[in-house]
Amino acid sequence: MPFYLKPIMKLFFPHPSKGASLLYDAAVGGKNEASGVFLVKSQVTELKFTDQGRKVLDKASDIYEREFTLQH
In tens, the pLDDT along 23-51 reads 888 888 766 667 777 888 778 888 888 88
CA pseudo-torsion sign 38, 42, 44, 46 = negative
Domain count, the chain: 1
pLDDT digits (tens, 9 = 90+) for 2-29: 888 888 988 999 989 988 988 888 888 7
- The model's pTM: 0.48
Range of the domain at 48: 3-68
Residue 46: predicted pLDDT = 85
